[in-house]
Chain A
């Protein structure tokens, strides 16, 4: 019998702790499939960040380093500079990357560090209880904006992909979403391109993945996906922002 579905070798057999309907699991799987397909499992080092995905090291069947909150790009820089033949990626949430880790991500991108960043944008701080993150949508209710985010006092959602795309060290940047099969297929393609950019030595690559956090959003899993589609896509346009690579742009 032909086997049509199996666990990627880059994923461990550990059951995941993510809440039902959380798309962290989907993102993990896509990264693992890409690493399998590119034959990179034996030479990839992941950097886990602080957030719900802190236990990523238990779920990927890869070498891993856990970083302090926001520090993953600096950690990855240290590893990649010493082991340039390894594939190094960080896996970071939006609280981690777009708040406390803003300096690290901007400067890793600007230095053109030859690393790949998987950036999960679920519009909240998930692990700490659904507080407003820099990516929270205008009017969105969170535990720190119980009547909705008022942009006049709390500012606007940060567009990380567009912001980093202005930097010369960047080789590949795109934004994708985990809502529906077509989008998920595109997301995988983007992740593949990001790792390919690293393999080609082109510099910094990042895929921003619009994701769900059904629990802190207070929605059922399917409603959360619909909510993402209806509310996040208009605020965070999908697409590729940099594809030509650092070397060509210099």
Chain B
């Protein structure tokens, strides 16, 4: 049975804590003073719900906490709590996220600024629970903002930023924070926990304005629409998603001012790219082996860099294309798959290729599928991908898509 629960200190100063990525998200919920949280267990997301349960039980987080009977209800409950004016949090993983899909599809159109965590997990075929990105990516076309983080600190910070962006009236779209299962959700690291006061300054109260479901404001949420209005609703979502880029930039700038942590370009991180001949591009925790491999290759004089994409939606196509145009070859590592897609590669590779098409400079793009089902992306894997890129940069023809780290 559950043991004594340690308290998350609430000090007026920033303090350090050794916590996992999941715990960091739960701490962010507390700092953001979320009003309604729902849960249904599924690994690896369930570590968040357990931590939230402790915070609530300890009286450290005053919120409605509902363990629903399935993910579908879990998301429906928070959606409509949000429509009624509550700040909400929800999350799931893999097939749990897919089980909620009907609820997820209608969230952006209803302009519900929910923040959700996806503990990335394979889609259970058969029974797998290691990390893959296809679960979160499944909402990429629907109006969800989608961001990948690669460490617990970034998970906490991004969750706070996500509330600010999602609840900005110029945006009012849900935001999913993708955290690699096990590698991030379950591994602990030192995290700076900001004082509540800073968060209050950063995050204005949630205000639904004229969209509030309230007897004083008679409206119908989610009325039946067809050819009469649906196109306009889609267009509203489209415009909101475009505006989100600006709001994200503002939020990171403000975050840096208040919290003293500056993430630079919010949309993607560049690592050793300044003089790089070739770069790898990827999302999430594979950044760790990639960075280690790059340091080793650099010692051998091989100029390899890395671009880690954070925000997948909105996708900053022009900016990314301009950046990637600086290199002689670009390799995209997908921790996902898209069977039958162009050049039978992954989702990220397809998007990056599309982003590069109108660009002035279009380096050769190699796609790699790696680390599926929770398989580790190893340093030798990264070295192999980099060698292929260096050969492509030297003008040697390379296969357009390669599965790396797979039994021959």
A residues lining the B interface (CB < 8 Å): 54, 66, 68-70, 95, 99-100, 102, 125, 128-129, 131-132, 134, 141-147, 153-154, 216-219
**Chain B residue at minimum C-beta to C-beta distance from A132:** B67
Complex Cα spacing A17 to B155, Å:
34
Known: A69-B95, A144-B67. A131 touches B49 (CB 8 A): yes
Whether A141 and B1, one on each chain, are in contact in the complex, defined by CB atoms closer than 8 angstroms, is yes
CB B23 to nearest CB in A, in angstroms, measures: 13
**Chain B residue at minimum C-beta to C-beta distance from A101:** B70
15 more CB-based (< 8 A) A-B contacts, given A128-B43, A146-B54: A68-B124, A69-B95, A128-B41, A128-B42, A129-B41, A131-B41, A131-B50, A132-B67, A142-B1, A142-B2, A143-B2, A144-B39, A145-B2, A218-B1, A218-B2
Does B207 have its Cβ within 8 Å of any Cβ on chain A?
no
Complex Cα spacing A100 to B73, Å:
9
**Chain A residue at minimum C-beta to C-beta distance from B64:** A153
Known: A68-B95, A128-B42. A141 touches B50 (CB 8 A): no
Complex Cα spacing A54 to B43, Å:
15
Known: A95-B41, A125-B41, A131-B41. A144 touches B50 (CB 8 A): yes
Pick from A69, A99, A146, A217: contact of B5, CB below 8 A. A146
Complex Cα spacing A66 to B70, Å:
19
Known: A70-B70, A131-B67, A144-B49. A217 touches B41 (CB 8 A): no
B residues lining the A interface (CB < 8 Å): 1-3, 5, 39-43, 46, 49-50, 53-54, 57, 65, 67, 69-71, 95, 99, 124, 126-127
Q: Which residues of A contact B70 (CB under 8 A)?
A: 70, 99-100
Whether A129 and B50, one on each chain, are in contact in the complex, defined by CB atoms closer than 8 angstroms, is yes
CB B49 to nearest CB in A, in angstroms, measures: 6
Q: Which residues of B contact A146 (CB under 8 A)?
A: 2, 5, 53-54, 57
User: What are 5 A-to-B residue pairs whose CB atoms are below 8 Å?
Assistant: A66-B126, A99-B69, A131-B50, A142-B1, A146-B5
**Chain B residue at minimum C-beta to C-beta distance from A55:** B127
Q: Which residues of B contact A154 (CB under 8 A)?
A: 67
Q: Which residues of A contact B57 (CB under 8 A)?
A: 145-147
Q: Which residues of B contact A100 (CB under 8 A)?
A: 40, 69-71, 99
What are the nearest 10 A-B pairs in CB distance? Answer: A128-B41, A146-B2, A218-B1, A100-B70, A141-B1, A144-B53, A99-B69, A131-B41, A146-B57, A143-B50
Known: A125-B41, A131-B41, A218-B1. A145 touches B124 (CB 8 A): no
**Chain B residue at minimum C-beta to C-beta distance from A134:** B69
Q: Which residues of B contact A125 (CB under 8 A)?
A: 41
Q: Which residues of B contact A68 (CB under 8 A)?
A: 95, 124
Complex Cα spacing A99 to B71, Å:
10
Complex Cα spacing A106 to B124, Å:
25
Pick from A69, A128, A134: contact of B46, CB below 8 A. A128
Whether B2 and A141, one on each chain, are in contact in the complex, defined by CB atoms closer than 8 angstroms, is yes
Q: Which residues of B contact A95 (CB under 8 A)?
A: 41
Q: Which residues of B contact A147 (CB under 8 A)?
A: 57
Complex Cα spacing A68 to B71, Å:
14
Whether A66 and B41, one on each chain, are in contact in the complex, defined by CB atoms closer than 8 angstroms, is no
Q: Which residues of B contact A99 (CB under 8 A)?
A: 40, 69-70
Q: Which residues of B contact A70 (CB under 8 A)?
A: 70
Centre residue among A54, A132, A144, A216 by max chain B CB count within 10 A: A144
Whether B127 and A145, one on each chain, are in contact in the complex, defined by CB atoms closer than 8 angstroms, is no
Complex Cα spacing A219 to B2, Å:
11
Complex Cα spacing A230 to B186, Å:
36
**Chain B residue at minimum C-beta to C-beta distance from A219:** B1
CB A8 to nearest CB in B, in angstroms, measures: 26
Q: Which residues of B contact A142 (CB under 8 A)?
A: 1-2
Whether B1 and A54, one on each chain, are in contact in the complex, defined by CB atoms closer than 8 angstroms, is no
Q: Which residues of B contact A66 (CB under 8 A)?
A: 126-127
**Chain B residue at minimum C-beta to C-beta distance from A48:** B127
Q: Which residues of B contact A144 (CB under 8 A)?
A: 39, 41, 49-50, 53, 67
